[in-house]
Amino acid sequence: MNLKLPDCLELATDREIRKCQNDFMNLLKTDGEDHMKTVGFQGGREQMEIWWFKKYKFWWSYSEAISRHWNAFGMADNMDDDISQGYSITCEINSPHRADNWQPRGRFCKDDKGRYYIAHTGHLNASGKRIKLDEYTLWPRTKICGLDRSVFVISALDDKNLIENVCNFVKTVQKIKEKIKSNSDEEREQLKLEDYLNKKSHKEIESELDNIEPISSEFIEITGKAYKRNNVVIALLKKRQDYKCQICQTRIRKKKDGFYIEAAHIKSKSEKGPENRKNILILCPNHHKEFDFGDRKIIKHSKNEIIFKLNGVKHAINL
Ligand SMILES: [Zn+2]
């Protein structure tokens, strides 16, 4: 969105909120295709009227709740499917009936020239976690005049690209949610593997590492479940190193049980670095970041050893 935002925005008054919501709805209803669909949300699903925007492949639904205007949005390539669990909501931009109610996360605001904006506080729920938008993305944000609060500005209400701007916001939220979900899936898989590998001897770990090399499949079956190959290799290497950093030997004890340690790819996955022991170092968070962002010069890299200089300090590590 190309917006020159003022230093601060005023909150719309209670009366202005209703007018903004009406203007917003009229615009969406004019542009969207009207459908009756099942919408799934936390705790249930319901047949609802939704408006689909073919060009942007997303939809909107509205209902007036006790203290707020409920605007739900989701992504959908088409309206052909009758998804049994319903079209799922990506995010809500709910505006309160009263400006001083900060429970709903949507906001209508205005600038000193009387232009209205739709905005969001940035608080989201994703995979059971509470997150704030600015931890993940740069989205135009501005302060609320006279209050110690700020909002992410989604669009001016009179912007000719209003619907596209709203869609981009929903897409951004969708991407963040997917990322958080895949991170927590990954974490869960790693913990399961750790549990399984902790019962293995040093010798068994070594032989599993050797056996894993020639397999080309992306998944490896362990006790009847398919695990991502990358996760298996990392879990094996962490266990082999006893969860200690291969540079400084430290390890972080977790509150419950076990240790926290990270895996660094020598040649990154995006550079098509292989998922095997030759390409992975087990490092503490500090050395991981130094390895990724520091001045790194690889002197020698063979099957069994890597010698490199990191910010001027030489390291030799057995792989
Ligand atoms: Zn370290």
- The 3-class SS string of 78-134 reads CCCCCCCCCEECCEECCEECCCCCCCCCEEEEECCCCCEEEEECCEEEECCEEEEHH
The average pLDDT across 177-187 equals 85
Phi, psi of 254 (to 5 degrees): -90, 155
How many angstroms separate the alpha carbon of residue 298 from the centre of ligand 1?
Answer: 18
How many angstroms separate the alpha carbon of residue 262 from the centre of ligand 1?
Answer: 10
How many angstroms separate the alpha carbon of residue 73 from the centre of ligand 1?
Answer: 44
* Residue 121 confidence class, pLDDT cut points 50, 70, 90: very high
* Residue 170 confidence class, pLDDT cut points 50, 70, 90: very high
The average pLDDT across 173-188 equals 86
* Residue 2 confidence class, pLDDT cut points 50, 70, 90: low
User: Given a cut of 80, is residue 53 above it in pLDDT?
Assistant: yes
Task: Give the span between the Cα atoms of 222 and 224, in whole angstroms.
Answer: 5
How many angstroms separate the alpha carbon of residue 299 from the centre of ligand 1?
Answer: 20
User: Given a cut of 70, is residue 216 above it in pLDDT?
Assistant: no
How many angstroms separate the alpha carbon of residue 284 from the centre of ligand 1?
Answer: 4
How many angstroms separate the alpha carbon of residue 165 from the centre of ligand 1?
Answer: 44
How many angstroms separate the alpha carbon of residue 194 from the centre of ligand 1?
Answer: 20
How many angstroms separate the alpha carbon of residue 270 from the centre of ligand 1?
Answer: 24
Q: Which of 99, 76, 92, 82 is nearest to 14 (CA)?
A: 99
Please tell me whether residue 244 adopts helix, strand or coil conformation.
Answer: coil
**Max intra-chain CA distance, the chain:** 73
Contact criterion met (CB below 8 Å) for 154 and 166: yes
Between 81 and 159, residue with greater pLDDT: 159
The chain-wide mean pLDDT, for the chain, equals 90
How many angstroms separate the alpha carbon of residue 206 from the centre of ligand 1?
Answer: 23
Q: Look at residue 274 in the predicted model and tell me its pLDDT.
A: 81
Task: Give the span between the Cα atoms of 242 and 201, in whole angstroms.
Answer: 12
The pLDDT tens digits for 266-310 are 998 778 788 888 999 999 999 999 999 999 999 999 988 999 999
User: Given a cut of 80, is residue 135 above it in pLDDT?
Assistant: no
Kindly list the distances between the CA atom of residue 2 and the CA atoms of 104, 154, 157, 159, 200, in Å, as whole numbers in the listed order: 26, 11, 14, 10, 57
For the whole prediction, is pTM greater than 0.85? no
The pLDDT tens digits for 155-166 are 999 999 999 999
- Residue extents of the structural domains in the chain: 8-179, 198-318
How many angstroms separate the alpha carbon of residue 311 from the centre of ligand 1?
Answer: 14
Task: Give the span between the Cα atoms of 3 and 32, in whole angstroms.
Answer: 24
How many angstroms separate the alpha carbon of residue 84 from the centre of ligand 1?
Answer: 49
How many angstroms separate the alpha carbon of residue 285 from the centre of ligand 1?
Answer: 7
